[in-house]
């Protein structure tokens, strides 16, 4: 028994510390010598050593036959050319560490954290505040557009050219500066934010900066920067939504009457923001050359071009109505629209390169635009809910004192804290020149989902005031916009079930993609090296999963200290189990893994929560590990670990069926007995609620960078007044006599309270005509 225990302990140590293959045979030899083993033990041991340690023999006897079987049976995922382009777009960043099973937290936490430049901060404090002050969101919805004055201001102050370098007349903002502008605009008006966001996202400016010819840049970028040209980018079609590679818009190469080579475009696009007012249309289409005029075959693939909206055959006459949110969104039609090769982004060198351009641009853009609007909306929701809860009284008490309200406020505060952390963490990478494709897909998905839940929580706290439309309502318009964000830049269901883990497993895994490439190229020797490295990787992660599970993560030597230390240890444990089960799933399912979307989605859930925990730990450290922030970190991180537990349970329950499922179900039973997360205490949620309602400094930190319009300032003033008169209200309720000064103070507070809880009501004519109305 002692011998068996010793063997297991040594094997576990070798696996846990990823000892090289030869060390296993050294350990085996030591055991055989130590126990004076007979020749009958030595012969197979030496034979195995020769087979596994001498590469030429190993390749001939093991790798080559396995290689042939894998290739013949197609057991590893096949990757099309379009998928390869998508996979190669962007970089592997922190996601790769989480996929490794042994994340290097020292390296992770050394990543830069972004700050605004003086110029960016000045712009936010001045121009952004000014355009928010000019914009009545209620009037925007009533008039179905921004005012002419706001449009003029956006153009003159170069809001539409934030990403365009100064040399071309733009503002040249960093990704973080760009994000903070969008975030603040979103806290005041979703329409304003979207209008500014789109020209600074995937579109003509972005594509020209990376792929345009010098002449194209010099012509278009200054005009886009100052608003002389309004851009749109037309990608989505009736038959190609999330599946952008399936677009049917066609460009056919031909010679015109003068013998010049031109392209004839026919397209039907939809859901295109700014398209009905655009003067420059970025267009994605499939290029065909049936007469081979370009000299390189007939089918060129997806191509991107800039099309003058004045061209004959373009129809910009219609509008969509996305849930009543009146940003410009419309279908775009083109029949026999003629452009030249010079209109293609990149000219001749850009022909057929559109798919790569799109994937590389989306690899970055997903991490900026929608996370910014979602964070701005979430901060608004948290701010409104926490201040309104102080002002609103029921049963003689501020509703902030009710446990049910405090529970929701606590959830909302923690959610906003971790969302802002993840957004900022990601933008630090983008600012530093990284293009973390998988992290950006995670951010697009998770930020929009969190905003959808956060706005509902805030509206639940406001109750009837949240559903009564009018200028006083700060949340309804943001609520209308929440589902819109879910659908764009890759619908969320697809992002969760296909991209985050499906592409992440291939792109971020240390060996998977390289093995597939070696298999495709017939490189047996490269495959051999990768295969045995992969086996070592799986063995190590199995051992780490066992040891970290047995010790509940305490076996991990954490880099962080204090409150964050324990969370880092559990994150290391989660990463080990995630990496191990990912390889088990790949081994069991092979090429069919990407079709098991429900399982893939749950792996994506684990990856998402690990990424957000990492970001929260980084934020907590960067901001000085404040004691007042500990409870926000606790609730946010424990909630994330709870979701990780739930996802792992679903994976183990559904990974395989039949008798093979038995060990996985038993392992699932064990993981439920030994969960990573802890039940969130009511006390912790209540502490967050108290901090958000009563401590301006905490609320301002969690909800920073929102626009304080008149209604929000009134709400804050009423909050302060109602806090000041708490004792007077208690004394009044007890029947105690109040002085005249106390009565006046109480009246001021109640007048402010009444103004805040009052909802809008309209005259019948105004209601039915849907014209702009003032406060009732």
Residues 508-562 have pLDDT tens digits of: 889 888 888 888 888 889 989 988 999 999 999 999 999 999 999 999 999 898 8
Q: Where are the beta strands (DSSP E) in 327-424?
A: 329-340, 393-394, 397-398
Closest of 116, 206, 114 to residue 165, by C-alpha: 206
At 39 the pLDDT is: 82
At 584 the pLDDT is: 94
Tens digits of residue pLDDT in 224-283: 999 999 999 999 999 887 677 788 999 999 999 989 999 999 999 999 999 999 999 999
For residues 174 and 355, the answer to whether their CB atoms sit within 8 Å is no
Inform me whether the pLDDT recorded for 772 exceeds 60.
Answer: no
Inform me whether the pLDDT recorded for 635 exceeds 60.
Answer: yes
Distance CA 573, CA 555 (A): 9
Give the rounded distance of the alpha carbon of 487 from its chain centre: 13
At 332 the pLDDT is: 97
727 an active-site residue? Answer: no
- What is the reported pTM? 0.94
Residues 6+ apart with CB under 8 A from 250: 265, 266, 267, 285, 286, 288
At 776 the pLDDT is: 43
Given the residues 183, 360, 434, 489, the one annotated as active site: 489
Tens digits of residue pLDDT in 80-120: 776 777 777 778 899 999 999 999 999 999 999 999 999 99
Distance CA 323, CA 488 (A): 14
At 1 the pLDDT is: 58
Inform me whether the pLDDT recorded for 438 exceeds 60.
Answer: yes
Judged by average pLDDT, the poorest of 49-53, 69-73, 329-333, 702-706 is 69-73
Inform me whether the pLDDT recorded for 640 exceeds 90.
Answer: yes
Judged by average pLDDT, the poorest of 6-20, 53-67, 645-659 is 6-20
At 98 the pLDDT is: 96
For residues 563 and 613, the answer to whether their CB atoms sit within 8 Å is no
At 223 the pLDDT is: 98
∠ at Cα 451 (445, 456), nearest 5°? 135
∠ at Cα 446 (440, 450), nearest 5°? 145
Q: At 363, which helix (H) or strand (E)?
A: helix 354-365
Inform me whether the pLDDT recorded for 34 exceeds 80.
Answer: no
Tens digits of residue pLDDT in 475-499: 999 999 999 999 987 789 989 998 8
Judged by average pLDDT, the poorest of 359-363, 581-585, 700-704, 718-722 is 359-363
Long-range contacts of 652-660 (CB under 8 A, 24+ apart): 652/581, 654/598, 654/599, 654/602, 655/581, 655/584, 655/585, 655/588, 655/599, 656/588, 660/588
Tens digits of residue pLDDT in 170-187: 999 999 999 999 999 999
Outline where 35-147 has alpha helix (H). Answer: 39-53, 55-58, 64-73, 81-88, 94-100, 105-109, 118-123, 129-134, 137-143
Distance CA 598, CA 617 (A): 29
CA distances from 452 to 370, 447, 469, 481, 733 (A): 12, 9, 19, 9, 40
How many residues are present in the chain?
776
CA distances from 253 to 281, 294, 314, 350, 539 (A): 19, 8, 18, 14, 55
Q: Which CATH architecture has domain 231-362?
A: Beta Barrel (2.40)
For residues 225 and 163, the answer to whether their CB atoms sit within 8 Å is no
Outline where 101-244 has alpha helix (H). Answer: 105-109, 118-123, 129-134, 137-143, 148-156, 175-188, 190-197, 204-211, 214-225
Inform me whether the pLDDT recorded for 37 exceeds 80.
Answer: no
Highest mean pLDDT, choosing among 50-59, 78-87, 693-702: 693-702
Closest of 43, 233, 397 to residue 224, by C-alpha: 233
Tens digits of residue pLDDT in 713-766: 999 999 999 999 888 888 888 888 888 888 899 999 999 999 999 999 998 888
For residues 357 and 304, the answer to whether their CB atoms sit within 8 Å is yes
Three-state secondary structure call for residue 647? helix
Distance CA 728, CA 195 (A): 47
Tens digits of residue pLDDT in 340-358: 999 999 999 999 999 889 8
Tens digits of residue pLDDT in 567-601: 999 999 999 999 999 999 988 887 788 789 999 99
Inform me whether the pLDDT recorded for 219 exceeds 50.
Answer: yes
Inform me whether the pLDDT recorded for 157 exceeds 70.
Answer: yes
For residues 645 and 605, the answer to whether their CB atoms sit within 8 Å is no
At 76 the pLDDT is: 66
CA distances from 221 to 203, 210, 423 (A): 12, 12, 28
């Amino acid at each position: 028994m002692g011998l068996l225990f010793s063997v297991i302990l040594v094997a576990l140590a070798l696996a846990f510390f990823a000892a090289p293959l030869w060390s296993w045979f050294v350990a085996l030899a030591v055991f055989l010598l130590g126990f004076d083993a007979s020749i009958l033990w030595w012969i197979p041991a030496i034979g195995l050593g020769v087979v596994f340690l001498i590469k030429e023999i190993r390749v001939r006897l093991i790798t080559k036959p396995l290689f042939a079987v894998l290739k013949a049976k197609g057991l590893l995922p096949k990757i099309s050319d379009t998928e390869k382009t998508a996979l190669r777009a962007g970089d592997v960043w922190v996601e790769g560490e989480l996929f490794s099973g042994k994340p290097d937290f020292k390296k992770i936490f050394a990543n830069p954290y972004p700050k605004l430049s003086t110029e960016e901060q000045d712009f936010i404090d001045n121009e952004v505040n000014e355009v928010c002050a000019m914009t009545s969101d209620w009037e925007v919805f009533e008039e179905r557009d921004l005012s002419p004055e706001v449009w003029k201001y956006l153009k003159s102050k170069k809001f539409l050219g934030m990403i365009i370098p100064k040399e071309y007349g733009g503002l040249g903002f960093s990704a973080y500066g760009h994000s903070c502008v969008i975030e603040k605009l979103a806290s005041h008006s979703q329409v304003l934010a979207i209008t500014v966001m789109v020209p600074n996202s995937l579109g003509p400016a972005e594509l020209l900066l990376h792929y345009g010819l010098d002449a194209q840049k010099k012509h278009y970028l200054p005009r886009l920067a100052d608003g002389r040209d309004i851009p749109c980018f037309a990608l989505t079609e009736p038959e190609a939504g999330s599946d952008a590679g399936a677009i049917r818009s066609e460009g056919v190469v031909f010679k015109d009457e003068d013998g010049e080579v031109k392209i004839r475009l026919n397209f039907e696009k939809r859901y295109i923001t700014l398209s009905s007012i655009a003067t420059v249309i970025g267009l994605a289409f499939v290029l065909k050359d049936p007469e081979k005029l370009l000299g390189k075959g007939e089918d060129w693939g997806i191509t991107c071009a800039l099309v003058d909206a004045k061209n004959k055959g373009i129809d910009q006459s219609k509008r969509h109505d996305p849930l009543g949110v009146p940003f410009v969104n419309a279908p775009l039609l083109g029949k026999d629209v003629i452009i030249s090769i010079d209109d293609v982004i990149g000219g001749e060198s850009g022909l057929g390169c559109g798919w790569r351009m799109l994937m590389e641009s989306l690899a970055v853009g997903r991490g900026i635009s929608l996370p910014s609007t979602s964070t701005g909306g979430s901060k608004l929701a948290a701010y409104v809910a926490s201040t309104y809860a102080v002002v609103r009284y029921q049963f003689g008490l501020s509703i902030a004192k009710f446990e049910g309200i405090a529970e929701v406020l606590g959830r909302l505060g923690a959610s906003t804290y971790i969302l802002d952390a993840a957004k900022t963490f990601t933008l630090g990478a983008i600012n530093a020149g990284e293009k973390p494709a998988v992290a950006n897909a995670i951010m697009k998905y998770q930020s929009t989902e969190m905003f959808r839940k956060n706005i509902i929580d805030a509206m639940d706290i406001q109750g009837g005031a949240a559903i009564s439309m009018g200028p006083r309502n700060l949340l309804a318009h943001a609520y209308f916009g929440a589902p819109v964000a879910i659908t764009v830049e890759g619908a969320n269901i697809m992002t969760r079930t296909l991209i985050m883990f499906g592409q992440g497993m291939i792109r971020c895994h240390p060996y998977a993609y390289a093995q597939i490439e070696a298999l495709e190229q017939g490189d047996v020797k490269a495959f051999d090296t990768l295969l045995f490295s992969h086996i070592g990787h799986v063995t190590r992660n199995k051992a780490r999963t066992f040891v970290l599970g047995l010790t509940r993560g305490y076996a991990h030597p954490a880099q962080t200290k204090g409150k964050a230390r324990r969370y880092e240890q559990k994150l290391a444990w989660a990463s080990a189990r995630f990496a191990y089960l990912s390889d088990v799933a790949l081994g069991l399912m092979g090429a069919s893994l990407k079709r098991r979307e429900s399982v893939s989605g749950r792996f994506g859930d684990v990856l998402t929560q690990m990424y957000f925990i990492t970001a929260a730990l980084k934020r907590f450290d960067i901001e000085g590990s404040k004691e007042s922030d500990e409870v926000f970190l606790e609730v946010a991180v424990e909630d994330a670990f709870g979701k990780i537990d739930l996802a792992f349970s679903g994976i183990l329950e559904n990974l395989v069926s039949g008798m093979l499922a038995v060990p996985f179900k038993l392992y699932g039973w064990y993981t439920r007995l030994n969960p990573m997360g802890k039940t969130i205490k009511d006390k912790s949620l209540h502490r967050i609620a108290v901090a958000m309602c009563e401590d301006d400094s905490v609320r301002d930190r969690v909800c920073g960078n929102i626009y304080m319009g008149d209604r929000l300032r009134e709400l804050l003033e009423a909050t302060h007044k109602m806090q000041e008169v708490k004792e007077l209200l208690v004394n009044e309720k007890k029947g105690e006599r109040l002085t005249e000064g106390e009565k006046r103070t109480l009246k001021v507070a109640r007048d402010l309270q009444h103004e805040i809880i009052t909802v809008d009501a309209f005259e019948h004519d105004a209601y039915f005509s849907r014209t702009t109305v003032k406060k009732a």
